[in-house]
Structure 1
Amino acid sequence: MSDIQRVAEQYIAVWNETDADKRRALIAEVFTEDAAYTDPLGAVTGHDGVDGFIAGAQAQFAGLTFSLPAAPDAHHDIARFQWYLGPEGTREPLAIGFDVITVEDGRIKQVLGFLDKMPG
């Protein structure tokens, strides 16, 4: 498994972790301290910002899980990948997005997110 594939899988695991303490520990492993996250719904920085943003999304989409439908496309320290959000095991996701990440020393430094499909 490539390092980028591992980072993308860890990133998805962070979004799926609903236990606050475990999610915070994963964020510390996956993101740099000064990481920036930006998508159409908001922009945050640092571990606290990322954690708060993810917790808010989990509250809004309770019971749904994120998945990677395909391997990331990457070069240098940049990767892009699509993600799905829906009930586990569902063929048709409720939401589809596309993220571009910058990796620094094996951790995510920046996320630029795009939303392709959102419910309602």
Structure 2
Amino acid sequence: MNDIVAGYLATWNARPEERSRLLAEHFAPSVSYTDPLAQVSGRGELDRLIDGVQAQFPGFVFTPVGATDSHHDQVRFQWGLGPDGAEPVVIGFDVVVLDGEGRVADVRGFLDKVPA
């Protein structure tokens, strides 16, 4: 399941020219994503959401925080967002549900630490 998290975070960190390939590889076509600030459906909307996050936090990267936990077709993990090599400014917690092909079909995100 660590590979699922690695692919997920790589997609959020990718530049637009690489992100399309990563979205197709790691996310189901009809992926749904919900967190306290956004709710989108499909790879195209998720791609635009990632663009928005990267614009809001230029130069920041997503990194894993702590251990990954999973059972059945679900994975939960904590992530950090901050300058590369520095303490994360934002910390969140996501639960992803996989489709029958091992791609992310549904994401439920939570924010544990956000800047004031």
- Alpha-carbon shift at residue 8 of structure 1 (Å): 0.7
Unaligned runs of 5+ in 2: none
- Once the two structures are TM-superposed, the CA of residue 88 in structure 1 deviates from its matched residue by 1.0
Runs of 4+ in 1 over 3 A off after TM superposition: none
TM-score, structure 1 as length reference: 0.92
CA distance in 2, matches of 1:45, 1:71: 27
Q: Secondary structure at the match of 1:89?
A: coil
2:31 equivalent to 1:35: yes
Distance 1:49 1:107 in 2: 17
More strand by proportion, 1 or 2? 2
SS at match of 1:71: strand
Supply the distance in 1 between the matched residues of 2:51 and 2:13 (Cα, whole angstroms): 10
Whether 1:99 and 2:94 are equivalent positions in the alignment is yes
Which amino acid in structure 2 is aligned with residue 82 of structure 1?
Q
Kindly indicate whether residue 13 of structure 2 is the aligned counterpart of residue 16 of structure 1: yes
Could you give the per-residue CA deviations for residues 19-66 of structure 1, whole angstroms, max 9, x where no partner exists? x12111111111000100000111001110110011000000001000
- Tell me the C-alpha RMSD between the 2 structures: 0.9
Which of 68, 88, 91 matches 1:72?
68
Offset of residue 119 of structure 1: 1.5
Question: Could you tell me how far apart the structure 2 residues matched to 1:71 and 1:24 are?
Answer: 27
Count of aligned pairs between the two proteins: 115
Which residue does the alignment assign to 2:83? 87
